[in-house]
Amino acid sequence: MRGGGTSFYIYNLYDGSSKKIYEVNSSYVSASISPDMKKIFIHSSPVSYSAQVTIIDKTGEVEYQKDVPSYDLTHSWNRFNEDVLLMTSFNEDWSFQVFEINLKKKIMEPIEVEEPFVQWQSKSSILFQDWDSNELSVSAPLISQNILNHEKEMIVEDSVHFNQFVDSLLSVHSLEDKGPFTYQFIHSNGEIQSEFTVVLLSRYSDWLIPYYDMIEKDGRLITFVANEPGSFDTYTGTFSLKSWDTVSGKEKVLFEDLPLEPIRCSPDGEFCLYGNQLEKVINLKKPDIIHLLKEEGADI
């Protein structure tokens, strides 16, 4: 970030070169890259209660841009069709509207769904947790809804957290209110591929799901696991970084003593970006950690 603006760069890990591809002004809020690593969703807010959505390709070319009345935004990339994504716009009172953005057609259309936090299950169906508004709970039924005919189906009876990947669905659940918790990988035909059990750290109103990422080419989940039980608010321990083969069920400990920070892995499964600014690289083959960035005053 320089001079109040935010710049986007492509950085080559092998030769150390970098190239600036795009810049937004000081209204920048957040960004995320698509699962195929070819597009970037940029959320900025030029004025109060308004958001500007910009989607660029990896050369910096703008594929879509639109201003949306919004207090806050969330979005979900479609792993089954990279030209389509879901976006939820919240009002100040947390009422919401879910939209489908089609990059090829350059259109954004509202869709009717009961919950704001949705993910694609297939090209024409979405997933959401069906929360009971009259009851405080940390888990809810996981529901599939066809966006064409609006038909619904319960996929998991009680889910704390979920994430749909191309070849499997991750659902986290517990048979007891206080755990332990099971990470369950479910095939598209409904069969359980594999599962493993961990102790999660508690929070005021829910449970902490530590940072993780899926290397879909190999079916490997790279995830942090707390080394001690307890409450996240007072936790002073460290985390282990583990690799879990979602097909065979084999587990491998990569590191035993790391701070909990965001992680994002490359599609080829060789490296993971790691750190609060994704400023470090984990080599999964050795494994070791390389620092990419150094602080230089305000020019970070």
DSSP 211-235: -EEEETTTTEEEEEEESS-SBGGG-
Please tell me the distance from the alpha carbon of residue 54 to that of residue 250, in angstroms, as a whole number.
40
Mean pLDDT for all residues in the chain: 89
Peptide bond into 180 cis (omega under 30): yes
Task: Tell me what pLDDT residue 300 has.
Answer: 37
User: Average pLDDT of 29-50?
Assistant: 90
Side chain identity at 102, as an amino acid letter?
N
Question: For the ranges 63-67, 150-154, 180-184, 285-289, which has the lowest average pLDDT?
Answer: 285-289
Tokens encoding 275: 């750190």
Side chain identity at 34, as an amino acid letter?
S
Annotate 244-294 with DSSP letters as a single string. Answer: EETTT--EEEEEEEE----EEE-TTSSEEEESTTS-EEEETTTTEEEE---
Strand partners, 224: 241
Cα dihedral sign, 116-120-126-131 = negative
Contact 277, 261 (CB under 8 A): no
- Going by pLDDT thresholds of 50, 70 and 90, the confidence category of residue 287 is confident
pLDDT at residue 168 greater than cutoff 70: yes
- Element containing residue 68 per DSSP (H, E): strand 62-69
HEC assignment per residue over 109-168 = EEECCCCCCCEECCCCEEEEECCCCCCCCCCEEEEEEECCCCCEEEEEEEECEEEECCCC
Please tell me the distance from the alpha carbon of residue 100 to that of residue 20, in angstroms, as a whole number.
29
Please tell me the distance from the alpha carbon of residue 188 to that of residue 263, in angstroms, as a whole number.
26
pLDDT at residue 254 greater than cutoff 50: yes
Q: Which residue has the higher pLDDT, 133 or 249?
A: 249
From residue 52, how far is each of 24, 163, 177 by CA, in Å?
A: 11, 26, 41
Contact 244, 220 (CB under 8 A): yes
Q: What is the pTM of this model?
A: 0.86
User: Average pLDDT of 57-78?
Assistant: 93
